[in-house]
Structure 1
């Protein structure tokens, strides 16, 4: 079984824990329900535009060797593909089946590994506006300056939805916010389950190679941790213009 290293933002190595299952809804309740006045239970902000937010991680476009990677039991990490072209095209197809023009896609790192010229031709075929949460295999200067992403960040808080985006799972001490626990939406560990606690793995191997919509993450977060408990909308800390 893979060992998962948890990182305390902004990046200090913290501890390692064995992996356990955290999957997309429906999920089992993993935290005890806390009583709260109905007036303090916060319903996430609903955007009035038609733009949606979607999330995906660890596509590894053009990474031929990933098709040979095996876990500790000898199983292929990414089975079922004849070659890297078939892998790329399937992810492209499922991305464009899910993402509409104007949607915002957060890629949580490890975008591609291969020839830049091939990637430059391929990337515009993917629908939507893209933002990057950088992964350990990403060439940050190249991806930042090449016009591939609207924004490039180390991590991103969606406090209004109770979410924290990162590539590697963050230490749980980094996930508190105004008496609430943020769900750490992450990648990095591919087909392995997230560590115990408020974590959700959106590596492509765990989400059928298809970006996940924000509503699914909110449902999963609230199933695991309960509704956000907040005094009023005025305390929301908007981190950028997303």
Structure 2
């Protein structure tokens, strides 16, 4: 039976993201190779993967189509702010779909279904938040912005404004795609130094 996976902010080909996220890779080549290996170790060819933005920062020598084809499964990209490869028609054709936003139903291992709102960006008042819908997003990496998102969502819940929001950025999930069951078992996503408000010294 095929599965649905989620991930975000892979930043293939982006050297600066190694420092920005303190990624455990020595070079961008090592990162790219390991991201592919971890993806293919979990995702089967018949599976579906939603990438919630910032998939490929830079492709060298028109290699984006081959990179996409090296990844198992059908890939739907929810566009981020750094998907610079989308000017390449062959790379776009290698994807199963490209969207700005999506609203899907995901069947869990126990047979129940959950509605999921997909966006690259955090949306506190997302569609269906009052009716058990889940919001999955990326974009904020391990930054102060990620803390503000968690704090704001918590504050809304305390005021009775229900929401259930998870960051699927790959840095939160061992740099590999994850299922909704894995996300729900893990619980809320917080950065390693959550609450310190340490200002990032450089931008992506």
TM-score, normalising length from structure 2?
Answer: 0.71
**For the residues of structure 1 that align with 2:91 and 2:65, how far apart are their CA atoms?**
12
The structure whose Rg is larger is 1
Residue pair 1:175, 1:181 contacting (<8 A) in 2 also: no
Q: Which residue of 2 aligns with 1:85?
A: 29
Bigger share in strand: 1
- The corresponding residue for 1:122 is 67
Aligned residues of 2:114 and 2:134 also touching (Cα < 8 A): no
1:173 aligns with 2:128: no
Match of 2:80 among 135, 141, 153: 135
Residue 199 of structure 1, CA deviation? 1.4
Q: 2:116 aligns with which of 151, 156, 163?
A: 163
Cα shift at 1:136: 0.8
Q: CA distance change for structure 1 residues 217 and 187 in 2, over 3 Å: closer, same or farther?
A: same
The aligned residue for residue 3 of structure 1 is: none
Deviation at 1:143, TM superposition (A): 6.4
- In the TM superposition, residue 115 of structure 1 has moved relative to its aligned partner by 2.7
Are residue 58 (structure 1) and residue 15 (structure 2) matched? no
Q: Which residue of 2 aligns with 1:7?
A: none
SS of corresponding position for 2:117 = strand
Q: Deviation per CA, 1:77-112, whole angstroms, max 9, x where unpaired?
A: 133211100001111111011001110000001011
SS for the counterpart of 1:146 is: helix
Q: How far off its partner does 1:146 sit?
A: 2.9
State how 1:1-242 maps to structure 2 within 5 Å. 50-69=1-20, 77-116=21-60, 117-139=62-84, 140-142=86-88, 146-159=92-105, 160-170=113-123, 172-176=124-128, 179-192=130-143, 193=146, 194-196=149-151, 197=153, 198-217=164-183
Cα-to-partner distance string for 1:119-169 (whole Å, 9 max, x where unaligned)? 233221111111011101114453687312111111111244131111010
SS at match of 1:126: coil
The answer to whether the Cα contact below 8 Å between 1:144 and 1:152 also exists between their aligned partners in 2 is no
Asked if the contact 1:133–1:155 (Cα under 8 Å) also holds between the matched residues in 2, the reply is yes
Q: Deviations over 1:23-80 (max 9, x none)?
A: xxxxxxxxxxxxxxxxxxxxxxxxxxx11100000000011122233xxxxxxx1332
Task: State the secondary structure of the residue aligned to 2:9.
Answer: coil
Unpaired runs of at least 5, structure 2 = 106-112, 154-163, 189-204
TM-score, with length taken from structure 1:
0.61
Higher relative contact order (CA 8 A, sep 6+): 1
Bigger mean CA offset, 122-131 vs 141-150: 141-150
Q: 1:134 to 1:149 in 2, by over 3 A?
A: same
